A and B are shown apart, each in its own frame.
Chain A
């Protein structure tokens, strides 16, 4: 039954939508939408704080859950009427299940959790939402907040591993792995760093064409030196034979570059290998990013070419792609 026909609402004057002065257009709304929102505006106008107002906000949300003003008003009412927040949590859960990508409801949930100071349902709830869409950005933000705010780190690494078992290409899960470890043990302990390196290599074997794992590997090593991690170069060269990908080749370039940067002594061989890989990537293996690989090759050449005319590297690597002349 429309609000305009309900006796208990007869005291309110509905407020029609104002689209601004002299609206050019006549807008066609659904009847129910018009009715609910006309009465919502009336409540707002009178600043009415009542149970019937509270009930109406649920209807308004059902019709348009992205209307942030309705959520604001609902929060004001939750507090003014001292509503049962646990019941509110159940309501929020239902809305999120139905519309998991809505900004307003996730923020609303966070506020209610804060008011209750009770995160006990959160990790399980978020896991349930992630089981439907493992990359839901809102769900992950909420999860990170819960973990940090309430220090609930204990089982999170295990959870991340479970998700990576299900989909090793889940970038959100790799990001979460970094988040958990950064906030708990950190990466400075060599045994932890190596554990993570070996874990990454294992995942690479399962799915070599996986941008996320390569980003992760580079991310955890870049400050500590890719070329100085014991045995890493050898492992990568081994993988190159059986599990090659443009990412692997790019990572090799990164290792060689790190070596050039941080090792003294004759690096002609290393430079030569790096340039060869850049050319391979630009010409064959990752042609859509040929401009990037040319840039990398040129930069390496400029920075590390010894300039000694008797070296062979600059002659061998004159190529149309890299555009280098000795």
Chain B
């Protein structure tokens, strides 16, 4: 019954070997090329961009190639009076960039570059009456921000600062009929949101509230014939879903439901042999975001050359070891 499945076809000459050195060179040089319009345009997310770059370098054992002092100084200049951190200098604070900043400083074991108490106050202040979290003072609500809030506080050892029970109540209210989660109650299930919600529930110690078999099935249904993963039904595969979907499956103890070798082939095919880095799908332009999630996905698949990555926080396991953080995983 020749039904058209929305998918990509991997060409026979697509990369099939892991090119870690090229990726490290790509990240190390990112932002220093002459034609930097893309870099300029992404200033509004610079803090997250730095987190992506540093994390992937650390996973590849190449963190020392990055400039710790410069980055720490930059982060310090991005903390505002309210305690929140902005994406870059002169931008407004937001919980997304507050998390990225704390993740970066955790890699360097130097969170005290920030006024930690003020960060905690900022995050606490974003919680709403229904338990949800706004992203900033302008009030957008999204389960992504619930994740950012608890992840930030967990890294700082200050989860007690918020009403965890209420926060859990809100996230659970975003669970849908298919077992997945969306950004707000009723929103369509989406792999990115599912990662945020399962990560949230892990940190909050409430993973037992997930219907793991039902959600696990929805997640493994993301795998297409090409081996790649999409984010919701009838969408094209994208290498970043190798993270969102795979990490979620790992958190709920069902990562073996994915055909690992087919996924691995897809991820490797997303590499650019000339420039280094990963693109969303084979043949497209690379960027640091997809590079991190391609490498992190391979780590979850057991790639020997890459450090173990923690599926909840998307940070190297050895960093979390040092912090004594062991978020729950289902078995």
Would you call A22 an interface residue if the criterion is a C-beta within 8 Å of the partner chain's C-beta atoms? yes
Partner of B90, one of A30, A41, A169, A215: A41
Cβ contact within 8 Å between A292 and B36: no
- Please, what's the 1-or-0 string for A62-78, where 1 marks a CB less than 8 Å from any CB in chain B? 00101111001001000
Cβ contact within 8 Å between A30 and B257: no
Question: Which chain A positions have C-beta within 8 A of B36?
Answer: 25, 27-29
Instruction: Give the interface size bracket for B toward A.
Output: 35 or more
* Nearest-Cβ distance from residue A242 to partner chain B, whole angstroms: 10
Cβ contact within 8 Å between B73 and A21: yes
Question: Which chain B positions have C-beta within 8 A of A44?
Answer: 90
Interface residues of A in 245-304 (CB under 8 A from B): 245, 288-292, 295
Would you call B198 an interface residue if the criterion is a C-beta within 8 Å of the partner chain's C-beta atoms? no
Cβ contact within 8 Å between B187 and A27: no
Cβ contact within 8 Å between B234 and A170: yes
Would you call A130 an interface residue if the criterion is a C-beta within 8 Å of the partner chain's C-beta atoms? no
Interface residues of A in 166-184 (CB under 8 A from B): 169-172, 175-176, 178-179, 182-183
* Nearest-Cβ distance from residue A55 to partner chain B, whole angstroms: 20
Cβ contact within 8 Å between A24 and B32: yes
Q: Which of A3-11, A119-127, A150-158, A203-211 contacts B (4 or more CB under 8 A)?
A: A203-211
Cβ contact within 8 Å between A72 and B188: no
Residues A64 and B37 in contact in the complex (CB < 8 Å), given A215-B218, A288-B223, A289-B259: no
- Please, what's the 1-or-0 string for B246-274, where 1 marks a CB less than 8 Å from any CB in chain A? 00000000101111001000000000000
Residues A171 and B234 in contact in the complex (CB < 8 Å), given A144-B186, A292-B217: yes
- Chain B interface residues (CB < 8 Å from chain A): 1, 3, 5, 31-32, 34-37, 39-41, 43-45, 67, 70, 73-74, 77, 86-92, 94, 136, 138-140, 176-178, 182-184, 186-190, 216-218, 220-221, 223, 225, 232-235, 254, 256-259, 262
Which 6 A/B pairs are nearest by Cβ-Cβ distance? A219-B177, A20-B74, A175-B188, A171-B233, A209-B3, A211-B233
- Chain A interface residues (CB < 8 Å from chain B): 15, 17-25, 27-30, 33, 41, 44, 64, 66-69, 72, 75, 103, 107, 111, 135, 137, 140-141, 144-145, 148, 169-172, 175-176, 178-179, 182-183, 207-209, 211-212, 215-216, 218-220, 222, 245, 288-292, 295
